[in-house]
Amino acid sequence: MTESLAIALQLDDRMASELDADEKIISLLDAYVIDGKETADVVNADLRAAIARVAKLKEMKAEFVRPAKEIIARAEALFDPAIDAQTEFSTGLRRKLELWITDQKRIAEDARRKAETEERQRRQKAEMAAAATRAIAAQEAAELRRQADIAEQDRTRALEAGNAKEAAIAASEAARLATAAGATVESAEIKAQEVVLAAAAQTTVVAAPEKVAGFSLVANWKAEVAPPFTEEDSVLAIARAIAGVNRDHDGTRKLVAERLDLAPLLKRNATAANDLAKGLQGAMDVPTLIAVNRPSSRSRAV
C-alpha cells in the first residue's frame, strides 16, 4: 500500500509582521529606567504584558506546527509496525544465539572438567603403579642384600678356616649381590619415573566453545538488592556501613570499621533536601547542609 504525505506551512503577512515586531522588542530594554513608584508600575505592567505575550506566542507556535507534527506522527506510524516486528524478530534471534552459545560453553566446560578428572585419575594410577614398582624393587633389593650378608659371613668363616679360595668366592658373591640390589632399586626407579611421565604426557585436548562471527556474550555484572531486602533496607545498611555502625541479630548497635569506599553509592537528593529547607527553614539540622533563602521573583500575566 502506497500513502502520500505532504504539507506546506506558511506564515501570512499579519503573523510575519507580528513576529518581526516581537523580535525587535528587545531593543527597547535599555530604555526602561526605574526611578520611582510610577515608573516601577509601568515596568511591572509591561512585564506582565510580555509574560502574556510569550504565552500567546507559544500557543500560536503550537497551533502553527500542529499539522506538521500530525503528519510526522502519521509518517512515523508507517514505519513503526515494521520496526516493531523486526525488533521482536531480532530479539528472538538474539535469545536463540545466547542460549546456544551458553549451551556450547556448558558443553566445553563439562568436557574440560571430564578431561581434568581423567588426567587426575591417570596420574593417580601412574603414581600408584610407580609406588608398587618401587615397593617390589625394595623387597627384591632387601632379599639380595640379605643374601649378600650371608655371603659376607661365609667369606669371614672361610678366612677364619684358612680357606682363601672359598673366601674369595664368597667375597665375589657378596659383591655381586650388593651390586644387584643397587641395580634393582635403580632400575625400578627408572621404570617408576617412566610410568609417571607417560601418564603426564597423556593430555586430552578440549575443543573451545563454538563461536559465531560478530556475536558474543560478554560479562555484564550488575548490583541488585538481595532478597528479601528492599531498596530502603539497602540504603540504610550502606549508610550504617559508611558510618561504621552495625547491628547484631538482637538489634544491639556495635561499632565496626568505616566503609568510606561505599560513599559514592549514596547521592544527595537535592529535591528532598530543598523540601526539608522549605519546611524547617532555619531549624533544618542536616550534617553539612544549611537552609538558605534565595528569593525568586513572580509576576502574573495580564
Cα angle 138, 140, 141; round to 5? 65
Cell of 231: 531498596
Each residue of 32-77: pLDDT tens digit?
999 999 999 999 999 999 999 999 999 999 999 998 899 999 888 9
Tell me if 155 sits within 8 A of 174, measured CB to CB: yes
User: Contact 248/254 with Cβ under 8 angstroms?
Assistant: yes
Q: For residue range 114-159, what is the model confidence (pLDDT) as tens digits? A: 999 999 999 999 999 999 999 999 999 999 999 999 988 988 998 8
pLDDT on residue 247: 65
Paired with 148 in beta bridges are: none
The verdict on pTM exceeding 0.75 is no
236-244 LR contacts (CB < 8 Å, sep 24+) = 238/262, 238/265, 238/266, 239/266, 242/266
Closest CA to 88 of 77, 100, 96, 76: 96
Q: Is residue 274 packed enough to be buried (19+ CB in 10 Å), middle (13-18) or exposed (0-12)? A: exposed
259-287 pLDDT, tens digit per residue, is 888 887 778 788 888 998 999 898 888 77
Residue 17 and residue 22: Cα distance in Å, rounded? 9
* 235: Cα within 13 Å, side-chain hemisphere: 7
Average pLDDT, the chain: 87
C-alpha cell at 38: 510610577
Rg (alpha carbons) of the chain, rounded to whole number: 48
Spell 37-52 as b/e; 16+ CB within 10 A means b. eeeeeeeeeebeeeee
Q: Which pLDDT value is given to residue 63?
A: 92
Alpha helices in the chain (DSSP H): 13-24, 37-160, 164-201, 231-243, 270-280
Identify the three-state secondary structure at position 208: coil
Q: What mean pLDDT is predicted for residues 78-85?
A: 92
Average confidence (pLDDT) over 71-88: 92
CA atoms within 13 A of residue 4's CA, in its CB half-sphere: 2
| Cα 63 from Cα 100, distance rounded (Å) | 54
The percent of residues in the chain predicted with pLDDT above 70, rounded, is 94
Mean pLDDT of the region 225-236? 86
Phi, psi at residue 289, to the nearest 5°? -115, 150
Closest CA to 243 of 226, 228, 223, 257: 257
Q: Which three cell numbers stand for residue 47?
A: 512585564
- How far is residue 30's CA from residue 25's CA, in Å, rounded to a whole number? 11
